[in-house]
């Protein structure tokens, strides 16, 4: 597929034209009042940069690592379900794009094709994200299937005991809500974490959906390899903090015992670099990834990441840093927002709120 857009504004409009209203609402929507969704953006908008000057920024390195694997920019692909509704080959398109560009993707339990088909799609490292749809034996079998297929880490999502009440009405969401096996999610405890860790041996384990220092500390005590700070893009519990607001307390609680990644509202290089400055190892993108796929499947996603890489390099240069490890909390400070937040409010030339 040939896909051509000059910036994310054009990409998002292209995706909107390609996708039905139902699919658009599935991607963009969030739970109940959508306060969490908006706070994710608001929290990012309430941080301003404190750039440093007169530094030689002719050579800039945007690379970092995630769980020992090099990535070209500090941006990972958050797990998403039902991807074949907005990209023809589902999660295989994400995988193809990540292999080509050079970053790591999380593959959801509830996307297509099967985890084995995606593993065979490319040799590059990727994480398998578990949603619990059965008893302990079912969980262990699924984790081992992913390990045997070659996934480089296993991720457990822990923020979904109930399916979030998303009210941008789409027939799919009603169907998804009514899957009886979802009830197994309610039984996840720290014993489940331990059980999966035992089942996968030395393969790194990521816990997704941490929102407090208290739980981050417990996760670190359980020797997880990565705490993934997330409120599910506002799709689960409404009325929580914007994720970047909780990042400093979580980084402090973890105290270097494991990696910390974050998602929720990240759509610009500046957003990503704010999180790196506050101690995240990398940032994951959900909706931005979906819009890129909607605009042009795997080619659209590669192009989106290429644009992001240029934006990250430029922003790093303007901040006066040449590598990501030079960023620290002194590069950001509290400020006031300048616009009403919503899922694509970082793109100020688009119409506000829900696009119909
Ligand atoms: C369309 C869509 C489907 C999602 N499906 C999953 C999923 O299957 N598993 C999961 O752990 N998180 C899922 N999420 C949440 C994302 O992994 C991520 O936490 C969230 O999208 C980050 O916020 P952002 O969309 O503002 O970047 C989904 C998000 C979206 C937008």
Least confident of 75-79, 129-133, 143-147, 170-174: 170-174
CA of 233 to the centre of ligand 1 (A): 6
**What whole-number distance in Å separates Cα of residue 243 and Cα of residue 264?**
6
Listing DSSP states for 61-79 in one string gives: B--EEETTEEESSSEEE--
Instruction: List, in sequence order, the alpha helices (H) in the chain.
Output: 8-18, 21-28, 35-45, 91-101, 115-121, 136-149, 171-177, 190-200, 213-221, 243-254, 269-277, 287-319
Please work out whether the CB of residue 265 comes within 6 Å of at least one atom of ligand 1. Answer: yes
Burial of 276 (C-beta count, 10 Å sphere; 0-12/13-18/19+): buried
What region does 204 belong to: left with phi over 0, alpha with psi -120 to 50, or beta? beta
340 in any annotated domain: no
Listing DSSP states for 185-206 in one string gives: GGG--HHHHHHHHHHHTTS-EE
355 in any annotated domain: no
For 181, the token pair is: 């096996």
**Whether pLDDT at 168 is above 90:** no
Contact 62, 309 (CB under 8 A): yes
Host H or E run for residue 127:
strand 126-130
CATH of the domain at 108: 3.20.20.70
- Total Cβ atoms within 10 A of residue 248: 13
The helix/strand/coil state of 261 is: strand
Tell me which of 94, 158, 210, 233 to substitute to probe ligand 1's pocket, judged by most ligand atoms within 8 Å of the beta carbon.
233
Please work out whether the CB of residue 264 comes within 6 Å of at least one atom of ligand 1. Answer: yes
Which long-range contacts does 178-187 make (Cβ < 8 Å, 24+ apart)? 179/133, 181/133, 181/134, 182/131, 182/133, 184/132, 184/133, 184/134, 184/135, 184/138, 185/131, 185/132, 185/160, 185/161, 186/161, 186/162, 187/132
**What whole-number distance in Å separates Cα of residue 243 and Cα of residue 230?**
6
Residue bearing the CA closest to ligand 1, atom 6: 80
Per residue in 152-162, pLDDT (tens digit) is: 999 999 999 99
Per residue in 115-140, pLDDT (tens digit) is: 999 999 999 999 999 999 999 999 99
Please work out whether the CB of residue 27 comes within 6 Å of at least one atom of ligand 1. Answer: yes
265-286: average pLDDT? 98
Which atom of ligand 1 is the closest one to the Cα of 285?
A: 27
**What whole-number distance in Å separates Cα of residue 268 and Cα of residue 40?**
13
343 in any annotated domain: no
Q: Are strands 153-157 and 205-210 parallel, antiparallel or unpaired?
A: parallel
User: What pLDDT shows up at residue 352?
Assistant: 83
78-97: average pLDDT? 97
For 12, the token pair is: 């998002």
80 in any annotated domain: yes
Which atom of ligand 1 is the closest one to the Cα of 160?
A: 11
Contact 247, 278 (CB under 8 A): yes
Contact 209, 158 (CB under 8 A): yes
User: What pLDDT shows up at residue 286?
Assistant: 98
Domain limits at 268? Answer: 8-334
Structural domains of the chain, count: 1
Please work out whether the CB of residue 286 comes within 6 Å of at least one atom of ligand 1. Answer: yes
**Whether pLDDT at 173 is above 90:** no
346 in any annotated domain: no
User: What pLDDT shows up at residue 115?
Assistant: 98
**What's the Cα-to-Cα distance from 173 to each of 108, 157, 179, 242, 356, rounded to whole Å?**
17, 19, 10, 24, 18
Rounded mean pLDDT of the chain?
A: 96
C-alpha dihedral sign at 310, 316, 321, 324: negative
Contact 105, 71 (CB under 8 A): no
**Structural Rg of the chain based on CA atoms:** 19
The helix/strand/coil state of 263 is: strand
User: What pLDDT shows up at residue 1?
Assistant: 63
61-69: average pLDDT? 98
Per residue in 202-226, pLDDT (tens digit) is: 999 999 999 999 999 999 999 999 9
Contact 344, 267 (CB under 8 A): yes
47 in any annotated domain: yes
CA of 253 to the centre of ligand 1 (A): 25
Which atom of ligand 1 is the closest one to the Cα of 263?
A: 22
Is residue 342 annotated as part of the catalytic site, yes or no? no
**Whether pLDDT at 169 is above 80:** no
Which is catalytic among the residues 9, 232, 342, 344?
232
Please work out whether the CB of residue 75 comes within 6 Å of at least one atom of ligand 1. Answer: no
Which residue would you say has higher pLDDT here, 176 or 68? 68
163 in any annotated domain: yes
Please work out whether the CB of residue 209 comes within 6 Å of at least one atom of ligand 1. Answer: no
User: What pLDDT shows up at residue 175?
Assistant: 75
Per residue in 301-353, pLDDT (tens digit) is: 999 999 999 999 999 999 999 999 999 999 999 999 999 999 999 999 998 88
Contact 293, 260 (CB under 8 A): no
257 in any annotated domain: yes
Tell me which of 76, 77, 78 to substitute to probe ligand 1's pocket, judged by most ligand atoms within 8 Å of the beta carbon.
78
Please work out whether the CB of residue 233 comes within 6 Å of at least one atom of ligand 1. Answer: yes
């Amino acid at each position: 597929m040939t896909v051509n857009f000059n910036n994310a504004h054009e990409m998002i409009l292209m995706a909107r034209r390609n996708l039905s209203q139902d699919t658009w609402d599935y991607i963009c929507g969030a739970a109940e009042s959508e306060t969490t969704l908006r706070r994710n953006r608001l929290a990012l908008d309430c941080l301003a940069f404190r750039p440093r000057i007169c530094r030689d920024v002719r050579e800039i390195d945007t690379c970092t690592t995630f769980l020992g694997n090099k990535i070209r920019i500090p941006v990972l692909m958050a797990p998403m379900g039902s991807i074949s509704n907005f990209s023809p080959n589902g999660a295989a398109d994400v995988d193809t794009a990540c292999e080509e560009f050079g970053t790591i993707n999380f593959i959801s339990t509830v996307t297509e094709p099967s985890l084995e088909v995606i593993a065979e799609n490319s040799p590059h490292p990727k994480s398998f994200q578990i949603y619990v749809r059965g008893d302990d034996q079912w969980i262990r079998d699924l984790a081992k299937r992913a390990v045997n297929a070659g996934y480089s880490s296993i991720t457990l999502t822990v923020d979904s005991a109930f399916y979030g009440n998303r009210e941008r009405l789409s027939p799919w969401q009603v169907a998804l809500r009514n899957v009886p096996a979802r009830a197994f999610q309610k039984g996840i405890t720290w014993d489940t974490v331990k059980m999966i860790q035992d089942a996968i041996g030395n393969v790194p384990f990521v816990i997704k959906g941490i929102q407090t220092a208290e739980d981050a500390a417990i996760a670190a005590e359980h020797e997880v390899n990565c705490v993934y700070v997330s409120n599910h893009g506002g799709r689960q519990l409404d009325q929580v903090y914007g994720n970047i607001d909780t990042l400093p307390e979580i980084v402090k609680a973890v105290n270097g015992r494991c990696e910390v990644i974050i998602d929720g509202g990240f759509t610009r290089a500046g957003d990503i670099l704010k999180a790196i400055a506050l101690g995240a190892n990398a940032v994951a993108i959900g909706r931005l990834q979906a819009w890129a796929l909607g605009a042009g499947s795997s080619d659209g996603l590669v192009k989106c990441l290429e644009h992001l890489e240029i934006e990250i390099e430029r922003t790093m240069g303007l901040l006066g840093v040449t590598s990501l490890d030079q960023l620290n909390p002194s590069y950001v400070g509290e400020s006031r927002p300048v616009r009403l937040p919503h899922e694509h409010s970082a793109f100020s030339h688009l119409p506000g709120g829900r696009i119909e």
